[in-house]
Structure 1
Amino acid sequence: MAVAPSAEGWAPFRGHRTWYRVTGRPDGGRPPVVVVHGGPGSTHDYLLRLAALAEDGWPVVHYDQLGNGASTHLRDAGADFWTVGLFRAELDNLLRHLGIQDRYVLVGHSWGGLLSAAHAADRPEGLRGLVIADSPASYPLWRQEMEVLRAALPRGVDRILRAHERAGTVDSPAYVAAVRVFNDRHVCRVRPWPPEYVATVMEIANNPTVYRTMNGPSEFHVVGTLRDWSVEDVLPDITVPTLVLSGRHDEATEVTVRPFQERIPDVRWEVLEESSHMPHLEEPERFHALLVEFLKGLDA
């Protein structure tokens, strides 16, 4: 590996910079675990607890995808700039910059899981294993299931949401409060929200350019450029061992996750019963144990 352990830096990318942090010692014999965060337009902060894998011998790489966090912000870039291809190329570039492209594991969360699946479907030689956490296999399925979850919200909440979505007033306090009702049920059920999750929420609020462009104003109102994107068709091309994780109360419902189990040849799916979209924060011990078990299996 080309960088020192427990180091931070920037990888040059198309005239911009991708921030990264490496935790752990790369000379212990185990492949680095690259953590691919959600959003799009999120940051690494809410996934920082995965750095604990370094204590078990796996170096951990966190990074902020272009447009947010400590990476280059591009508030004026148009929708034609923020593409899946951009973020796939950024991940490839980071692997090469760190010198780990010949041996690594990906852990992708939410949008990061779809991005990681698309990467894995290209069958890169250095990829040793894949973890897809709390991710839908397609945004059409996601949008379908959002209707189911919205209909089950407390009386009047969805009516408030839809009124503001029709009016375009999604920044109003009433809309934000109604979004919180959904998020408390299906995104993070820990009270109060853990500080690392709050940090990511604040980063998105500080610069929602990527999130609003590719996703939309909320988790359940997906009107951005990803609204019709899916990785379902390429899942059979994934040849590495794959662990799929989701929460029983997850906004990534079982319907949206099931294609991973049905189409990836070497796959195991675990549902965390007390979690929603953040099992690494809601059931951290169970989540960590599942990751370590999977990673040790790759060693074997």
Structure 2
Amino acid sequence: MDNVKEGFIPVTGGNVWYRISGNGPGIPLLILHGGPGSKSSDSDPLRRLGADRPVIHYDQLGSGKSDRPSDTSLWTVERFVEELGQVVETLGLEEFHLLGHSWGTMLATSYLFNKPGGVRSVIFSGPALDAQRWERDQRNYLKQFPEDIQETIERSEREGTTDSAEYNEAMDAYYKRHMCRVDPWPEELVEDMKGLNHQVYNHMWGASEFTVTGTLKYFDATERLPEIGIPALFTCGRYDEATPEATEYYAGLVPDSEFHVFENSSHMPGVEEPEAYVETVREWVNRQEMRPGA
């Protein structure tokens, strides 16, 4: 892709890598990846919007091409919010649209609750805004799997053997139904999963999607969602870990919001339905810029 700029930004705890794709005339779109401990996707289809507007990705500290310090005191929501502010300031973003995916929606809401200026709209993609509900929803999904898969996952978590081949096989079956339904998975997604920083993920979340034991265990943004005073779009896949029921519920708590389901996706519509995903985001941000008084 032409017009790509990359670099590093000093933040609390180290340096984070960023990439700006495109230089279209629209208001920039800033993307917060999932995880925690995951990274930006190099083939994110949203980069196609670069002809319309700059599309900005950055790898959060501890992940991807960014520094990977081992100090666990850095893995707090507050520090990630501070990091986001430092990225916005360094890049001189006076106005931007914000898109968070999965854990990135926790980061986005926490940032917005501080009432920063300049955010024109927010997109919550596969939102994880209540950790306890997320855990319950995954356990409900798990009940739909064969007994042997349920038993393997339960036993491995109980006995602390979540690094076994048997456990990984059981998790693969789960992920192929509720994380990404493309079969086989694209090589990049396989590599990204392998590159997950387990120290960050385990410290903040836990051993798996089913059991929240980390610092996010009691994260729940629902009571404060009505405070979000900017246009908000909530999206999820029909088979998403972020269930349509949960996502629609969150959308109902935000005054100026819309809700959209990608019918052929689970948690990765950017991989599963890239054209539909790009068009939904494109239409949303374009419409926000055309709003009267915007």
**TM-score, scaled to structure 2:** 0.94
C-alpha RMSD of the superposition: 1.5
Q: Distance in 2 between matches of 1:139 and 1:255?
A: 15
Tell me how far apart the structure 2 counterparts of residues 171 and 286 of structure 1 sit (CA, whole Å): 36
Post-superposition offset of 1:227: 1.3
2:44 counterpart letter in structure 1: L
The offset of 1:46, in angstroms, is 6.4
- In the alignment, which of 226, 229, 241 is matched to residue 231 of structure 2? 241
Match of 1:90 among 79, 83, 89: 83
| 1:166–1:182 Cα change, 3 Å | same
Alignment map for 1:212-231 (pairs within 5 Å): 212-231=202-221
> Structure 2 counterpart of 1:223, which letter?
T
Equivalent positions of 1:95-110 (< 5 A) are 95-100=88-93, 102-110=94-102
Structure 2, unpaired ranges of 5+: none
Fraction of identical pairs, as percent: 36
Asked if 1:256 corresponds to 2:251, the answer is no
The structure 1 residue matched to 2:55, chosen from 54, 60, 66, is 60
> What residue identity is the alignment partner of 2:204?
M
1:72 and 2:67 matched: yes
Once the two structures are superposed, the pairs formed by residues 192-211 of structure 1 within 5 Å of their partners are 192-204=184-196, 207-211=197-201
Give the AA of the match of 2:254. I
User: After TM superposition, where is structure 1 displaced by more than 3 Å over at least 4 residues in a row?
Assistant: none
**Structure 1 gap ranges (5+):** none
The yes-or-no answer on 1:39 pairing with 2:69 is no
Pairing 1:295–2:285 present: yes
Residue of 124, 136, 146 corresponding to 2:128: 136
- Give the drift of 1:120: 2.1
Contact 1:22 1:61 in 2 (8 A): yes
Deviation at 1:190, TM superposition (A): 0.3
Cα distance between partner residues in 1 of 2:215 and 2:13? 24
The CA deviation at 1:196 is 2.9
Letter in 2 for 1:88: V
Distance 1:39 1:299 in 2: 30
Count of residues in Structure 1 that have an aligned counterpart in Structure 2: 289
The equivalent residue for 2:154 is: 162
Q: Identify the residue that residue 49 of structure 1 maps to in structure 2.
A: 45
**Aligned-partner Cα distance in 2 for 1:48–1:62:** 9
Does residue 1:172 correspond to 2:168, yes or no?
Answer: no
